[in-house]
Every structure is written in structure tokens, then in C-alpha cells.
Amino acid sequence: MDRRQFIKRSAAAGAVIGFPTIIPSTVLGKNGSVAPSNRAAIGLIGCGDRAKYAGMYQRYDKSEVVAVCDPFKIRREAFSKKFNNCDMYNDFRELLERDDIDAVHIATPDHWHVPIAMYAAKAGKDIYAEKPLGISIEQDLEARKIVDKHKCVFQYGAQQRSIMHVRLGIELVLNGHIGEVKEIYTWANQGRAGGNPAERPVPEGFDYNMWLGPAVEKPYCADRVSKHGAWHCYDYAIGFIAGWGAHPMDMLQWWADNAGMKEIPVKYEGTGKWAPDDLYNGTTNWDVHCSYANGITLRFMDTQTARQAKPHPAVDGGHGTLFVGSEGWVRVSRGGWATSSEEIRRKAKVPGEKRLVVSKDQIQNFVDCVISRETPVDDLHSAVRSDVATHLSNIALRSGKTVEWDPKKERIRGKDLRHYMQREMRGPWKV
């Protein structure tokens, strides 16, 4: 039995028998820190801008990064040095073949999130995936099916659920301190147009074909593979409506999941902007009006649109989620929180019976769950719900039509818009 199996079976046995988990001092390092042989071994896939958060694994005594992977040779070399000159790979499939790796941290461009997660699940690895989830609704639903089948721990990297003031604010709403929720507003940073599409030779030390993966084959240009290209080109993402919209929509979904309505809006209509002839042709601006089956309304906007429309006095800041009730409001965001009155704010100390999972750090929570086999604070099922809502919002904009969602069949009502649920994927990477 390898260490991975031992940890899983020991955790399960402890839960069934009920004995306390006591780690003998012989397996601990100096000063009580966990010895390397007893840490969760992490493989980092993607060494670009978002990979910087993987440094937390080395700062947490229960985990360590043992391998890195990226089609940019210079990037994987740089991150290997950060992690004690660990092993490097160009092809993530080789990393997944290692039996000594417990989990992967996926920090690739958006179009690779779901395909790599599915490969990882089939390889028996637990998964931390950066937001957003897939670049289509079909990808989201398939990811959930495969991860559930292989019983993997999955943490969504939206991160706000590990911020104390976000948790406190949502607990106020859950416990009825603003009365009955009537309206919700979410907003996030607008996208970017432009980009230089001029074709250039592929740089030495860069596996461009691997970087493209399931995306349609296009000529190489520097702006295409930059972080802005990966976030704003429609071949690799749908734009900041998902890339940044994931944050406020995930906070909204945390409330919905715990308010007895594990669902998303069933109707979407709105307007938006994008630059179809630019390299960066993802959605840049949006204003979507949504409604839940129970009558609660949601208005989902980009920050620029929100500032111009000012639909509610409390809509403020670069991104946020605002709950408006019959007796007040609560606004939460990464940067802070606010309430309609100081009286409501003071109640956060003892909000009531409905409490949320406490997580002080998104990566630490993931590592703890890899070891304990518990469900992380930002689980895949919740991530699928919030991500699908951003896709349906985008479909409403791109089609110019009202989109209705069937929550039981998990598909768009009406065949004329259903083709928007899929995206073409280049072989051999089809979902």
C-alpha cells in the first residue's frame, strides 16, 4: 500500500471507528512539522500568472510541490527552482502517471481547465482548478460526471470563500438579518479588446501545439499566448464575464447552496459588447437580467456598466455581490464588506444557527481535504452551478435572445439555442 492509499484508508477508518487521529512524533519533522514523506504531494500544471498561488503549498507543512509542468521551457524551469529543483514536464500526462503525486493544481489557460481535470480524475488524482471552470456548459457537466465517478476531491479556485468577511456577510443574509432576499446584484471587471494578431515564428523552447491543446489551430503570435490572450480570446475563454465574473457569482452561489435553493436562475436576457474582429474577441461588457424560479431577480454586470447604470446605491467597487432584502442589504467582495446599517453588521458576531464552513486559506483547505477526504469549501458541484450561470448569461448576449434553463434536464429549453452549450475541441482532446 502506498502513502496515498494509506492516508485515505486511515482517514476512512478513523471516521468509522471514531478513534482520535494522533500522529506519532516519529513521523514528524523538526519542531513538530510534518515530515516530507507524510505531506500531500502536489503536481503544478501551468506555470503562468496564476501559478504564483501554488507557493502556499510550500508554506503549509502538510504539502509540497514535487513536480511542475508547462509547455514553456523557461517557465517550468523557473518554477522548478522555486520548488527545490523539482521534476519538470512538458506534457501533463507524464506527470499524471506518477504514483507518488496525490493531487494537481491546474493553473493553465481556461481552455485547458476541464480537459486536464478529467485526465487527472481518471488518473486518481485530487484536483485544485483555477476559475473559471470550462469554456462550455458541456465541459462543466462532463467534468462533474468524471470527478464524481472517480471520487476525487475537487477545489474550485475562486478563493473568496476563504475570506472571513465574505463568510460573515453571507451568514447575515442566510440568517434573515436583511429580511427576505428580493434582489441580487453581481458585477466584475470588464474585459479587454485589441491585441496584435501578426504572425510570428514560434519561440524556441515553447511547445505551441501543446499550449493550444483542444483549441482550434491558429498561427502563433505573442499576444495570443499572453495572459491577456488566454483570458480574452474566444478560442480559449469566453472573456471576463466568466474569468472575473466567477468571483461574485461564486459568492452568490455559496449563499444559494446554503439557503435551500441549490439552483441557478432559469431565465436570462441582456445586452453586451465584444470586438469580433479583434484578437481579443471575448465578451468585454455585459448587462444581464436574470430571474430564479422563486421570483428572486439577479442583475449581472461588468464594473463599467454597473457604474454607469448605478442600479442600487450599494453597487460599488471593482467587483462584488449585493443582497437586497426587505429589511436591508449586505455587500461582499474580495476587498471588503458593507451593510445597510451598523445594527445589522454587529449581528455578524452571533449571526444565528445557519453557519458556513470556515476556511482560512483556499489551498490549505484543499490539502486538508485531500488528507481527510472531506468536501472542500468550494466544491465542484457548486462551481458547476455558478459557472453555468455565466455561460447562460453569455449565450443570452451572443444570441440576442432570451435564454431559458431547464434545471432538471440541465439544458437550454428550445433546440434553437442548444448548440451554444458545446464548443468544438481539437482531437485527441475531445471531452
- The yes-or-no verdict on residue 26 having pLDDT over 50 is no
- Which whole number is the average pLDDT over 89-96? 98
pTM: 0.92
Reported as a single tens digit per residue, the pLDDT across 55-81 is 999 999 999 999 999 999 999 999 999
Position 28 pLDDT exceeds 60: no
What are 355-397's pLDDT values in tens digits?
999 999 999 999 999 999 999 999 999 999 999 999 999 999 9
What average pLDDT does range 345-355 have in this prediction? 97
CA distance 377 to 185: 23
Is the model's pLDDT at 405 over the cut of 50? yes
311-334-287 Cα angle (round to 5): 30
Calpha distance 303→191 (Å, rounded): 10
What confidence tens digit (pLDDT) does each residue in 101-134 have? 999 999 999 999 999 999 999 999 999 999 999 9
pLDDT at 430: 79
pLDDT at 278 over 90: yes
Judge whether residue 142 has pLDDT over 50: yes
Asked whether the predicted pLDDT for residue 3 surpasses 80, the reply is no
Q: Which residue has the cell 428572486?
A: 296
Give pLDDT tens digits for 209-239: 999 999 999 999 999 999 899 999 999 999 9
CB 265 within 8 A of CB 132: no
With pLDDT > 70 as the criterion, what percentage of the chain qualifies?
91
pLDDT for position 38: 75
On the question of pLDDT at 2 being above 90, the answer is: no
Residue 26, C-beta contacts closer than 8 angstroms, at least 6 positions apart: none
| Domains of the chain listed by start with CATH number | 3-160 (3.40.50.720), 163-194+221-358+379-421 (3.30.360.10)
Provide mean pLDDT across the span 187-211: 97
The mean pLDDT value of the chain amounts to 93
Q: Which residues contact 323 (CB under 8 A, 6 or more apart)?
A: 173, 178, 181, 184, 255, 329, 330, 331
How far out from the chain centre does Cα 323 lie?
Answer: 21
pLDDT confidence of residue 22? 37
The mean per-residue pLDDT over the stretch 132-146 comes to 97
Q: Confidence class of residue 300 from pLDDT cuts 50, 70 and 90? A: very high
Q: Give pLDDT tens digits for 41-60.
A: 999 999 999 999 999 999 99
CA 239 vs CA 148, 243, 275: distances in Å? 28, 6, 11
* DSSP character string of 295-348: S-EEEEEEHHHHHHH--STT--SSSEEEEEETTEEEEE-SS-EEES-HHHHHGG
Q: What is the pLDDT of residue 35?
A: 64
